[in-house]
Structure 1
Amino acid sequence: MSQETAPRRMKRKIANEANMTGQQTTPMSTTTIASTIEPVNVPMPTADEVFQGALYDPRILPDYRGSYFQLRQNKLKQLNIFDTPDNDFRLVPMHETYAKLRPGTLVLAVCEAHV
């Protein structure tokens, strides 16, 4: 019986700048994505415009940026998320959801399971 062995894998050393003589070294860009984002002037909904099922421009969300979000006709729908009793159980506007629902926030939900 002949036993075939897998080729042995070797670790390669990564060349650093000291070993790269004669090569042009250019510093890497340190710009962040946040510095390349253009500010968007979208009016935030007022308290009168916040009601369940309302439709908003999705650009009001703080993380709605970049090339993945080139939507033209999509709308952001107001969800049925209520604030604390201290704020009279008002609906939480969609652009404030990240500030209101932080890690550690207690969430009570009424759910239905369908199989």
Structure 2
Amino acid sequence: MSQFRSKKLDIGGFINGRIIRDHTKRKVFEQYEPDRQALRYIIRNTSLPQRVRAQAQLQLSQMHAYTRSTQIKNRCVAGGVARSVFRDFRIARFQFRMQALAGELPGVRKASW
């Protein structure tokens, strides 16, 4: 884990411990995803011997939790909030409203009819 703290974070906006942890999870997931996919392929391949499939399943279960995609949480890049985050803009509902009203989001206008 200490190897990730020494690297410079390439994220902008608000930074707290949760954002740093989520950033670390994303980097670890990106690094280990090919290995996880290979192990899942071996586990699902019924033409392989049962022993090989069982060993692959054991290896997959012993991998660190940060290598799973379910550990990644969408967070607001402006405020660090994890609730009501718009995926397209990666910002929370309140920040979206403030930036849209200020005209800082391209292609977003207040609805009027």
TM-score normalised per structure 1: 0.22
TM-score normalised per structure 2: 0.22
Higher RCO (CA < 8 A, seq sep 6+): 2
Higher helix share: 2
Larger radius of gyration: 1
